[in-house]
Amino acid sequence: MDLKDLRGRLDAIKQQSAATPDEDSRTAKPEQSDAGEVLLENGWNKVEDMVYEKVSVIKNALPQNVSSILLNKIQSPDRKIPASDLIFYDTETTGLSAGAGNIIFLAGFGELVPGTDNFQITQIFLSDFPGEPAFLDRLKDFISPERIYVSYNGKSFDANVLNTRFSMNGIKAEFGYQLDLLYSSRRLWKNIIGSCSLGDIETRILDKHRELDVPGFMIPDLYFDFVRTGRWDTIAGVIAHHLEDIASLAELLTVHEQLFDEAAGGTPGPGNDTGAGTTDFFDQLGLASMLIEKRPEAAVEVLKQAWGAGNYRAGIELSLIFKRTDRWEQAIMIWEKLWADGRSIFAATELAKYYEHRAHKPETALEITEKMLAMERFRIAQHLPDLNKRYGRLKKRTSR
């Protein structure tokens, strides 16, 4: 085959390729915009290659100081913490697991600017995966063991993903105390509203209603679309959703503080209502459980209100506080009412122990024990071994 024939065959192959698209051309990316240029056009600043940042200042919902009730690292008594010591954070990731393959593409940090009444949120965005080391290096500027980090499920998820990515990229960063509002929110509202997702808390507790919000399960795909096409409309909703999440964290902590302050003032709200909005309804036992260590008398007042409204469990908890603090007369009043109204095994047991060991009235203790033994077997089945032991002991003491 001479050179002329070879050229002819090559030309024919080229013409055939042009006429029939190959697999690569059929799966080629659609025409795309430059992601960085799109971000710059929409108010973002370039920090490093593929790393962009935007600062938003919103109306501050926080008081200048917050209580230490939710901070287990600070022992009683309760003391005030400057709100400027707190940093509210949230991340958006490419997946829902905390595994090594999950990458953070958007992180945000909200804080009260010292000396002002401004709540400032800094969002940091990774426009493509090769920029991750520089992205994490920027995030590290917000990580300090001296700060208190407020999140919603961040202790279990966001912090673990961040620590994993830092480790995989050889970056040292140490978080401060993690204050995860998911756990306290469940104690305050789970028994009333059920689901305590941040969206449900916003709607039922904060009385916030987002319009055209991006569902969380769509966020990874929307980010992948943005990386692929650079189209702003694929990521704008995600960024707005993320900004709103951080703003809600500050509002939610403020609601916690309102409840704590109202309880300290003896007016913890009605509780256990079915309405919506701020402090209008909450689980009184949950609130009391958070107050008991650092504001015990406030916890007592909350439980008294609940007990007065007929909350059986509140009566039990209140009686145990009275028992621990040697307020026996008040404890006995609750036990006697529980025993008379509902034939409470718990209350009868506490009364029997009191009359046997503290009042030294074995006859009265025996009478209560006999009444318990006469109850339906299904009600006392699990208590029978202790009841029989107490009955035998008391019978011996009273027959001497």
Segment 154-205, tens digit of pLDDT: 999 999 999 999 999 999 999 999 999 999 999 999 999 999 999 999 999 9
Could you read off the pLDDT of 106-127 as tens digits, one per residue?
A: 999 999 987 788 899 999 999 9
pLDDT exceeds 90 at position 317? yes
Strands (E), the chain: 45-48, 51-59, 65-67, 80-82, 86-93, 104-112, 118-126, 148-151, 177-180
What is the model's pTM? 0.84
Q: Which residue has the higher pLDDT, 2 or 129?
A: 129
Q: Amino acid identity, residue 190?
A: K
Residues 6+ apart with CB under 8 A from 350: 319, 323, 331, 335
pLDDT of residue 13: 42
Question: Residue 79 — pLDDT band, cuts 50, 70, 90?
Answer: confident
Q: What is the tens place of the pLDDT at every residue in 333-386? A: 999 999 998 889 999 999 999 999 999 999 999 999 999 999 999 999 999 999
Residue 86's beta-bridge partner residues? 148
Higher pLDDT residue, 244 or 280? 244
Give the list of residues 6+ apart from residue 300 with CB closer than 8 angstroms, or none: 288, 318, 321
Q: Is the pLDDT of residue 300 over 60?
A: yes
* Beta strands across the sheet bearing 118-126: 45-48, 51-59, 118-126, 104-112, 86-93, 148-151, 177-180
Cis, bond preceding 77 (omega within 30 deg of 0): yes
* pLDDT value of residue 157: 95
If you average pLDDT over each of 28-37, 96-105, 162-171, which comes out highest?
Answer: 162-171
Per the structure block, which two tokens stand in for 88?
């509210």
pLDDT value for 263: 87
Average pLDDT, the chain: 88
